[in-house]
Amino acid sequence: MQEHMQSPEPELICINVDKVFDWIVKEMSFDMTLTGPISFPEITPSTVLTGARVTCNVVPATTNPIVILNRENRNFTIDGSSVCLQNLTIQKNFLLTLFVTLPGGTVFTSTTIPVSRCEQVTLCAPKGTDVEILFTDLDCFVCTTGTLTAGEGTITFSALTITISVCQSIQSTFPVTVEFLATFCEPRAELPFTCPAVVRPNQCPTVFPG
C-alpha cells in the first residue's frame, strides 16, 4: 500500500468561483394554442386519424434558451430597510414536438415547433451579473385537440391547446476570487491488485478422449 504523506499546515489560497447574489425557485405553467397546419412529414391526405391520441414533448431551445430582455432597478422596503433590486423581464425559448398515435400503434412525429414565454422576476441582479436558469422539471400535456384533418405532410387541429409546466431554479451570479484558509488534498493509496490464477474450462472426459 502507498504510504500517506503528512498533511501540510493550512495556508491561505485563492480560487475563482461564482458568487450567488440571489436565488429563487419558481413554479409556473402556461397554456398555448396552436393554429393552422402543423408539419408532420409522414402524413398524407389519405391518412385516417380517427381515434388518434396526441401527446407532446418539450425541451429548452438549443440556441438562446434564456434571453434577458430588460433589467430595471426598483426600490423596495424590506424589514424596514430600503434596498434596490432588479425587475427582470426574461424570455424563455423552448422546442415543442407533437406525437400522433393511431389506434393500431403507428406514431407520427411533427417537426419541432419553437415556443417562447416571457415572465418577470425580481432578484438582486445588478448590471454585470449573469442570470442562470436551471429547469428542474419541464413537462407538457395536450389539453384539447378538436378535430384532426390530414393534409400533404401536415395535420390541422381545430382546437389544439397545450399546457407546459416548468419548475425552475433562477440564480444571479458574478465571478469572484475568494481567499480562505485550507489544506491541499492528498491522493488516496492505490488499491492492492493481484493477478488471477489461470482458469481452465471444464473437460468432458466421457466424450473425449474416449
- The per-residue pLDDT for 86 is 94
Rounded alpha-carbon distances, angstroms, from residue 27 to 6, 95, 120: 49, 19, 13
Share of the chain above pLDDT 90, in %: 73
Q: DSSP character for 208?
A: S
Radius of gyration of the chain (CA): 29
* 114 phi and psi angles, rounded to 5 deg: -65, 135
- The per-residue pLDDT for 204 is 75
Instruction: Locate all alpha helices (DSSP H) within the chain, ordered by sequence.
Output: none
Model confidence at 80, pLDDT cuts 50, 70, 90, reads: confident
Spell out the domain ranges in the chain. 17-176
pLDDT in tens, 112-157: 999 999 999 999 999 999 999 999 899 999 999 999 999 999 999 9
Mean pLDDT, the chain, whole residue set: 89
- The per-residue pLDDT for 1 is 44
- The per-residue pLDDT for 3 is 52
- The per-residue pLDDT for 5 is 53
Tell me how far apart the alpha carbons of residues 208 and 210 are, in angstroms, rounded to a whole number: 5
- The per-residue pLDDT for 195 is 74
Structure-block grid coordinates of residue 54: 396526441
Tell me how far apart the alpha carbons of residues 138 and 60 are, in angstroms, rounded to a whole number: 9
- The per-residue pLDDT for 200 is 75
pLDDT in tens, 153-176: 999 999 999 999 999 999 999 999
**Residues 6 or more apart in contact with residue 197 via CB below 8 angstroms:** none
Tell me how far apart the alpha carbons of residues 21 and 176 are, in angstroms, rounded to a whole number: 11
pLDDT in tens, 19-69: 999 999 989 899 999 989 999 999 999 999 999 999 999 999 999 999 999
Count of CB atoms situated within 10 Å of the CB of 132: 14
pLDDT in tens, 178-205: 999 988 888 887 777 777 777 777 877 7
* Stronger pLDDT, 3 or 100, i.e. the higher one: 100
- The per-residue pLDDT for 110 is 97
Tell me how far apart the alpha carbons of residues 200 and 210 are, in angstroms, rounded to a whole number: 20
Strand partners, 37: 156
- Is there a contact between 157 and 146 (Cβ–Cβ < 8 Å)? yes
- The per-residue pLDDT for 196 is 75
pTM: 0.75
